[in-house]
Structure 1
Amino acid sequence: MFETERCFINTFKKTDFVDVKKVFVNPEVRKFLGGIRQEDSIKVLLDEMLNSSDHSFYWVVREKHTDIFIGLVSLDLHQEGIYLEISYQLLPNWWGKGYATEVVQCIINYALNELSLKKVVAETQTANKTSCKLLERLGMELERTIIRFGAEQAIYSIIKKTK
């Protein structure tokens, strides 16, 4: 479990299925993520998340003072199979208030300092300007753009600074 100024970030559990499903069926959240997931694919995905490998991490984000579900954040093997990718999906009520910055920064710090990863990547559609700005604000740098999933994607990375 992690704690930020306003959030608790807890390991994903089966009891979180109902809340986590909310991000997969929200059209605003899914706008740049391939659209709303179908019911049967959500169940498969949630089961995969619950039974993930030792190198995949899924966390549920809740507001500290209300215990209200905010979203999901993860570290999982990137599409290209080399580095772990940070991903995040927060419900729209929590957008524009700094929650994503707080949560993603916490997980990047964990990845680089506790897991001792040398590099963490993130992939987002270039059309998702808000997500691109968030990643840049957190010190991630644009490596390249590619076409994947039928859209232009931006691949960002952050490398652990050595002293």
Structure 2
Amino acid sequence: MKKIIVTERLYLRELNETDYKYFYNLNLDKDVLEYTGDKPFKNLEESKKFLKNYKPYKKYGCGRWAVIDKKNDAFLGWCGIKFTQSLNEYDIGFRFFKKYWGKGFATESAKSCIEYGINNLKINEIVGRAMKENKASIRVLEKIGLEYHADFDFDGNKGVLYKTK
């Protein structure tokens, strides 16, 4: 599988249908989903169908990518830039299995995605959104160089919007 981005400890590649078990299990953890507004997949088949139909890479040159540990090829989670046509914007997002939290993987992968988006895809602005209570994700957005822009309604919760400088 082609590596899109390679960092010191990680590589990022396109998500594919064979990732369905990881994707399903990642979204089963209520702590992982706590600040996302997403619901868990109902079953493995729903996860597999989602990934089978996930095709932003050719259309936009980016999307959410699998984050893999270079040492052992472990699937740590996902990170990437997503284009939302209705908002005409690119946003950075990331989600990791809890056992990988606090180890710098979100910052390392998200920073590389921002650099890839700006340098390779020539994206002028990338945004990051988080619920105001999600201090860890806000800290990642700040560490990767995004700046606070505004508060907003995040599915009935207080949210913050960050943007590239």
Alignment TM class, shorter chain as reference: 0.7 to 0.9
Residue number in structure 1 paired with 2:108: 102
Residue 146 of structure 1 is aligned with which of 137, 144, 152?
152
Please state how far the C-alpha of 1:83 moved relative to its aligned partner. Answer: 1.4
Residue number in structure 1 paired with 2:51: 46
Code of the aligned partner of 1:66: N
Distance (Å, rounded) in 1 between the aligned partners of 2:49 and 2:147: 33
Residue 64 of structure 2 is aligned with which of 58, 62, 69?
58
Q: Do residues 84 (structure 1) and 90 (structure 2) align?
A: yes
Residue pairs, 1:1-163, within 5 angstroms: 1=3, 2-34=5-37, 36-39=39-42, 42-49=47-54, 51-52=55-56, 54-55=59-60, 56-78=62-84, 81-159=87-165
**Does the CA-based 8 Å contact 1:143-1:156 persist in structure 2?**
yes
**Does the CA-based 8 Å contact 1:144-1:156 persist in structure 2?**
yes
**Does the CA-based 8 Å contact 1:27-1:36 persist in structure 2?**
no
Q: How many residues align?
A: 158
Q: What stretches of structure 1 of length at least 5 have no aligned partner?
A: none
Q: Could you tell me the percent identity over the aligned residues?
A: 24
Distance (Å, rounded) in 2 between the aligned partners of 1:93 and 1:127: 20
Please state how far the C-alpha of 1:46 moved relative to its aligned partner. Answer: 2.6
Residues 35 and 114 of structure 1: CA distance in aligned 2, closer, same or farther (over 3 Å): closer
Q: What stretches of structure 2 of length at least 5 have no aligned partner?
A: none
Distance (Å, rounded) in 2 between the aligned partners of 1:39 and 1:108: 32
**TM-score between the two structures when normalised by the length of structure 2:** 0.87
Which consecutive aligned stretches of 4+ in structure 1 deviate over 3 angstroms post-superposition? 40-45
The root-mean-square deviation of aligned C-alpha atoms, in Å, is: 1.9
